[in-house]
Amino acid sequence: MGDSFTEGVGDRNKTLPNGVRGWADRVAEKLAKAEPGWEYANLAVRSKRLRHIVEEQLDRALAMEPTLITLYAGGNDILDFGTDMDQLMAEYEKLVARLAATGATLVLFTGYDVKVSAVLEPFKKRNELYNERVRELAAKYGAVLVDYWCLDAYHDRRMWASDRLHMSKAGHKYMAAQVLDHLRVPHKFSPKDWEPPQRLKLRDWERRQRRWVNEWVLPLFGRKLRGVTLGDMLSPRWPELVKVPRKAGLRKLAERQAAGAGSAAAATGSKAPDNAQGAAQDNGGTGL
């Protein structure tokens, strides 16, 4: 459940829904290898505020009767002008309490202090308050805490996508490893063994800054002024529970779905049989 962090933005993959993969897909695939039968849904959509996550994802998630839930919510609210942090965290606790009451293993995340620009420095105190409360609530409700704020690996700019706000493929893989480690699930993800980043010449740095401002910052503020977001026209990537294949993972499933959709489109006027939804659940868990 959540926003772009859990949807997988920054980790591009044209074969998967919404054109991204992300850490959550990788975690689901490793869970399926460790315990066959795992089913997975990802309700997260980029740009969603906490209120949207409650309104659009909570009931849907509870109806699935999950055994594992991950939640990152509130990061977009922090970047909104006029956000009341006390009210935001009170609503966040209500959501956490609802999810914890299911008895599922609940995974929460702090936010990262992204060193993007001095423009965002005024929001740092909000982020610190958010993280403090998330840590308190994780302890209060017995949730697993992945303390994103403390992960030094993200100091390397190569862990970030070109927008500097979302993790790159390497960043998502590292996050998947962190989540799996906290859940004590075996995996073979290992940190990138990079050479130290080269120091940019002033001219190159200025060129990158101009490109970043023009391609990301100005459009972002433009959307805020117009009251629109990148997630307005998107649906969740995996809105219903899917049984994760042990081999080739979710990419194999996406290919099957695309092939099925192509066959249905080719057979003009044909109707899928009532039992086309697939096999019954196996003995694994259910993850969100």
Query: 105 φ, ψ to 5°?
Result: -65, 125
In the chain the first and final C-alpha atoms are separated, in Å, by 6
Question: Cα 32 to the chain's mean position, in Å?
Answer: 19
List all residues 6 or more positions away from 182 whose beta carbon is below 8 Å from its beta carbon. 107, 144, 145, 146
**115 within a domain of the structure (yes/no):** yes
Can you give 23-47 as a three-state secondary structure string?
HHHHHHHHHHHHCCCCEEEECCCCC
**204 within a domain of the structure (yes/no):** no
**226 within a domain of the structure (yes/no):** no
The CATH number given to whatever domain includes residue 41 is 3.40.50.1110
For every residue of 174-234, DSSP letters joined together read HHHHHHHHHHT---------PPPPPPPPHHHHHHHHHHHIIIIIHHHHHHHHHT--TTTT-
Number of Cβ atoms within 10 Å of the Cβ of 278: 9
Query: 41 φ, ψ to 5°?
Result: -135, 145
**277 within a domain of the structure (yes/no):** no
pLDDT tens, the chain, 288 aa long:
999 999 999 999 999 999 999 999 999 999 999 998 999 999 999 999 999 999 999 999 999 999 999 999 999 999 888 899 999 999 999 999 999 999 999 999 999 976 655 666 677 889 999 999 999 999 999 999 999 999 999 999 899 998 888 999 999 999 999 999 999 999 999 887 777 777 878 887 778 777 877 777 777 777 877 888 888 899 999 999 999 998 888 998 888 888 876 665 555 454 433 433 333 334 467 777
What is the Cα gyration radius of the chain?
20
**158 within a domain of the structure (yes/no):** yes
**213 within a domain of the structure (yes/no):** no
**199 within a domain of the structure (yes/no):** no
**146 within a domain of the structure (yes/no):** yes
DSSP character at residue 235: -
Domain carrying residue 73: 4-193+236-262+282-287
Domain count, the chain: 1
